[in-house]
Amino acid sequence: MKLRFAPSPTGLLHVGNARAALANWLHARRHGGTFLLRLDDTDLERSKPEFAVAIEEDLRWMGLDWDGRVAQSERLDRYATAAEKLKASGRLYPCFETEEELAYKRERRRREGKPPLYDREALKMTPDQIERALANGKQPYWRFKLAPRSVSWLDLVLGPRSVKLTAISDPVLIRADGSPLYTFTSVVDDLEMDVTHVIRGEDHVTNTGIQLDIYEALGGNPKHLTFGHLPLLTDDDGGALSKRLGSISLRHLRKDGIEPAALAGYLAALGTSTDPVPGMPAALAPRWDISRVSHATARFDTRQLLALNRRVLHEAPFAELRDRLPEGADEVWWLAVRGNLDLMREARPWFDIVRGTIVPPVQEGEGELLTAALAALPPEPWDGSTWAAWTGPLKEATGRKGKALFLPLRLALTGEDHGPDLATLLPLIGREKAALRLRLSAGA
Ligand code: GLU
C-alpha cells in the first residue's frame, strides 16, 4: 500500500488540506503502507519555496512524517517522456485556438442549447495545416483525447462512482509554453511511484474520471488504484468552508493556541459518527477506518475544536508540556491551573499569579473586609485545608458568605474574578504574597 499527500505550495495549509493529509497518513500507518509527500509545484508562477517549507513545518507540527518527498518540478523530464508516449498513440493532440476563439465557440454552443464542450476542431487539422500553423510561429498547447466512455470505481468513502467522459471537454495537459498541468503530472507520478491509494477532496471526483482514463492510456492498470474522496467541509453556518473559513490555516490555528492533538483528533473524527478524542496521529492510527467517513459534507465547528483543545490541556501531563511552560513552572502549579485553561497561552498569567508578582486592583468599599481577612490569615505551613480554616471564621466574623465573601478575596489574591479553586491556589501563593495582596487591594 502506498499513499501520498500532494499539496500545491501556492499557499498555507488549511484545515481541508490537513484533513486529507491526515487521512492519507492514518490510512498508510494503519495498514503498514508507505506515505509520500509530493509537492505539486509545476505552476511555477504561483508555487513558492517558502510555502513548501511552511507546509512541511505545519505537517510536522500536526505529528505527521513521510517516507519520501518528491517535488514535481524535479521531474519535468518524466512528464515530457510520458507526453511523447501519448502523442505517439494519438491521445495527446495539438491545439491552436486562442482563448477568445474558445470563448466565442462556447457562447455559440450555449445559444444553440448545447453544453459548452470543446468541439475537437483541432483534431480535424491535417498534418499540412499543423505544419503551417507552426511555421507561422504558433505554439500549440496539448489536449488529451478522452475515451468515449464512462469511468467507474468503487470509492472508499462515496461508494460506487462513475464519471461520464463524453460530458467533459478534452483537458489541456500541456500549456503552450511546454509546461505540464497537474491533471497530467499527478497521473504520471501515481503510475511511476506505484501509488495504490489516493485519498483527496470530493472536488477531485471529476478529475478522477479523467485521470483514470489518462492512467490507462499510459499503460497503467486502473485496478491498482483505489480512490477515497472526502466530502467537503462547511463552516459553522453550513456555508462552503473554502469561501468563508478557507483562510483557516494550520498556522493561524497554531498561533491561536490550538494544540496539534486537538486538531488531529478533531479532523480524524470529522464527518464520522464517532465522538472526537484528542490524540496525536500515531495514537489515532490503530482506530482509523475510512469507511466511517460519511458521504455528507462535514461541518468544521470551531467550538467543538476548542472544546477538544480544552480537554487536551486539562489532561496534559506536566512532563509532556514542560518545554512550553513558563520558565520555573513546576508540576504542582501545572496541576492546579491546567483545568482552567482553554488555550496554552492562558497559562502565563496564572504563573505570575501563583509564582510571580501581580498588583491586584484596589477594591473601593472592601477595605474593612480585606483588612479583617489579612488579620485572620493563619500562620504557615499552609496546605489544602488552609482556605477553609481561614474563611470559616471570617464568615462568622463578617457575616458575609458566598460570592460576597469569596469574590473580593479572589480579586485580591489573583487580580481575576474567576479561576482555579482558591483552596488549591492559596497554599501555592503562600502567606507572604497573600498578605501583601490583601493589603494592596484594601487600599492600605
Ligand atoms: N495538488 C492537488 C491539490 O492540492 C492534489 C490533489 C491530489 O491529491 O491528487 O488539490
Q: Give 167-209 pLDDT, tens digit per residue.
A: 999 999 999 999 999 999 999 999 999 999 999 999 999 999 9
Q: Tell me, what's the pLDDT at 238?
A: 59
Q: Are residues 326 and 387 in the same domain?
A: no
Q: Are residues 379 and 437 in the same domain?
A: yes
> Which domain-ending residue is among 300, 330, 354?
354
Q: Are residues 387 and 364 in the same domain?
A: yes
Question: Is the Cβ atom of 186 under 6 angstroms away from ligand 1?
Answer: yes
Q: Tell me, what's the pLDDT at 265?
A: 98
Is position 244 within any domain? no
Residue 121: DSSP 8-state: G
Is position 191 within any domain? no
- Does position 236 have pLDDT exceeding 70, yes or no? no
User: Which ligand 1 atom is at minimum distance from the Cα of 198?
Assistant: 8
Q: Tell me, what's the pLDDT at 248?
A: 84
Mutate to test the pocket of ligand 1, among 3, 17, 35, 40 (most ligand atoms within 8 A of CB): 40
Question: Is the Cβ atom of 8 under 6 angstroms away from ligand 1?
Answer: yes
C-alpha to C-alpha distance for 420 and 237, rounded to whole angstroms? 33
Is position 368 within any domain? yes
> Which domain-ending residue is among 354, 380, 401?
354
**Which grid cell sits at 6?**
500532494
Question: Is the Cβ atom of 58 under 6 angstroms away from ligand 1?
Answer: no
Output the pTM of the full model.
Answer: 0.88
Range of the domain at 366: 358-441
Average pLDDT over every residue of 159-171: 98
Is position 431 within any domain? yes
Question: Is the Cβ atom of 38 under 6 angstroms away from ligand 1?
Answer: no
Q: Are residues 368 and 347 in the same domain?
A: no
Q: How far is CA 301 from CA 171, 238, 257, 258, in A?
A: 36, 10, 16, 13
Number of structural domains in the chain: 2
Q: Are strands 150-155 and 159-164 parallel, antiparallel or unpaired?
A: antiparallel
Residue of 47, 58, 29, 21 lying closest to 284 (CA atoms): 29
Question: Is the Cβ atom of 213 under 6 angstroms away from ligand 1?
Answer: no
Q: Are residues 419 and 406 in the same domain?
A: yes
Q: What is the CATH number of the domain that holds 418?
A: 1.10.10.350
Q: 261 near 170, Cβ under 8 Å?
A: no
Mutate to test the pocket of ligand 1, among 2, 3, 4, 8 (most ligand atoms within 8 A of CB): 8
Is position 347 within any domain? yes
Ligand 1 center to 195 CA (angstroms): 14
Is position 380 within any domain? yes
145 labelled binding-site residue: no
Question: Is the Cβ atom of 426 under 6 angstroms away from ligand 1?
Answer: no
Q: Tell me, what's the pLDDT at 237?
A: 66
Q: What percent of the chain has pLDDT over 70?
A: 97
Q: Are residues 346 and 379 in the same domain?
A: no
Average pLDDT over every residue of 284-294: 96
- Does position 242 have pLDDT exceeding 70, yes or no? no
Read off the pLDDT of residues 74-93 as tens digits, 9 standing for 90 and up.
999 999 999 999 999 999 99
Is position 420 within any domain? yes
Q: Are residues 347 and 370 in the same domain?
A: no
* Mean of all residue pLDDT scores within the chain: 94
The CA angle 54-58-63, to the nearest 5 degrees, is: 150
Q: Are strands 92-95 and 141-144 parallel, antiparallel or unpaired?
A: antiparallel
Average pLDDT over every residue of 337-365: 94
Q: Are residues 395 and 433 in the same domain?
A: yes
Q: Are residues 364 and 406 in the same domain?
A: yes
User: Which ligand 1 atom is at minimum distance from the Cα of 6?
Assistant: 5
Is position 6 within any domain? no
Q: Tell me, what's the pLDDT at 444?
A: 73
Band of residue 244 on the pLDDT scale cut at 50, 70, 90: very low
C-alpha to C-alpha distance for 437 and 444, rounded to whole angstroms? 10
Ligand 1 center to 415 CA (angstroms): 51
